[in-house]
Each structure stands twice: as C-alpha cells, then as structure tokens.
Chains A and B, each alone.
Chain A
Amino acid sequence: QAVLTQPSSLSASPGASASLTCTLRSDINVETFRIYWFQQRPGSPPQYLLRYRSDSDKQQASGVPSRFSGLKDASANAGILVISGLQSEDEAEYYCMIWHNSAGVFGGGTKLTVL
C-alpha cells in the first residue's frame, strides 16, 4: 500500500470549491505530519503552495492566494487541499508530500480539471 494516496483526477466548475484529498497509509497517523502541497502546471516545475499540520501550524507560500487552504480529516487519516472560487488557471496537477522516516514521500498526484 502506498504511503500517500491521491485520487487520480477531479473535476469542478469555475467558481466552485474543490477538495483534494491525500490519504495516509493506515499505519501512519495524519495528526503527526505536516502535509505539503504542490501545484504543477503542464511543462512547468512543481510550485510549493502551502503546508498544513494544524490551525496553529500552517504556512501559505508567498504569493499563493488565500482561496488555497489546508485541512485534515482525522477520521479518514487524510490531508485535504481546498481550493475555493475555482478559476481556469487552477487547472493543474496537485501533489501532496510528507516527510516520513527522514525521507520525502510524494502522493501520486491529482489532475484537477476546471470546466
């Protein structure tokens, strides 16, 4: 079982909100970790968006709009990236990452389509 699991794709309408999930393997407690989120547009390198551990331990990358935010769902053992007020420019691949056993681990990515 993969350490981090993301749905491969998600579609949402302009102006709506999208919740992208990053589910941790069952033996890894999401409460422990900072979840890092990256956005990757076609032909470009990933860009750091934000990290979320709790409401008291979170960070928004410089220049990232506040309509991007992080959450956790402890019951699902998952981190969530919420994008509100979807715009066409938000169409991209989104990756989550954690640091596990002193090594980086990425999720498989979610392709977000805004249509």
Chain B
Amino acid sequence: QITLRESGPTLVTPTETLTLTCTFSGFSLNTRGVNVGWIRQPPGKALEWLGVIYWNDDKRYSPSLKSRLSITTDTSKNHVVLTMTNMDPVDTATYYCAHGTLYYEFWSGYDDNCFDPWGQGILVIVSS
C-alpha cells in the first residue's frame, strides 16, 4: 500500500522560506518511472501543479514558480523535500505530495504522469 504524508510548518511569515517534507512508503524512488509530485490548493480554489522529482533525479517545475522552487530527495530516497523561497500571503494553501508514474511513448515522444495516490495535505498559512 502506497502512503504519503506531508510535514512542515503550518505558519510562515512573509519573505520566509518554506520547507516541506513528503515522507512516503510502499514504493521506491529508485524504480524507473516513479516520481513524486507537489501540488497546492489555496483555500476554496483550484489545484496548482508545482513540480516533480523523478527516479533519476530529474526535476520539473511550474514555469511561473520555477525561480522560487526546489525539490530534492535525501540519499535514502525515503523523503522528498519541497523548498519555496520568499513566501507571500498568496502562497497560503494546502500543499500535497503525490506518487507519480511516468508514461513515455518512444515513437512519439509523448509523455505524461499519473498522480495516484496523494497525501492528506498540509495547510500552510503565510501571515505576519
């Protein structure tokens, strides 16, 4: 059974750097095609994809947030860490991590990713 759990501060002050940890079990980030994604959801609003880290340590980020985001994993690859700099009240949201499976078509170059399952999420409030 795959499980993921987000942890970190629930209150950060503006301009501070947010660091969230996704602790997972039931899969290995050493397995080809496996990845962990981060998605956030402001209160009452839609989901927003933030980024992903792949089994081969490749990373992709939302173009609009790329300059502020970093996703890393530790050497044991049992945790994935999301870092977001210069936090602002508009970054108040529930932050989710999710298990991903990469799909790639060699003949067309088409790729996509399925996020399933997701962690329960952590609400991060940005306020002074």
What is the interface of chain A, defined by CB distance below 8 A to chain B?
Answer: 32-34, 36, 38, 40, 45-48, 51, 59, 61, 95, 97-99, 102-109
Contact = CB atoms under 8 A, between A and B. Distances in A.
B116 A104 contact: no
B112 A108 contact: no
B57 interface: no
B15 interface: no
Nearest to B102: A99
Interface of B is mostly: strand
Main secondary structure of the interface of A (DSSP, over half): strand
A99 B119 contact: no
Interface string B40-78: 000000111100100000001111000000000000000
Interface string B117-128: 111110000000
B113 A48 contact: no
Given A98-B112, A99-B111, A107 B46 contact: yes
Nearest to A95: B47
B60 A103 contact: yes
B81 interface: no
Contact of B49 (A48, A61, A106): A106
B49 A105 contact: yes
Contacts of A99: 111-113
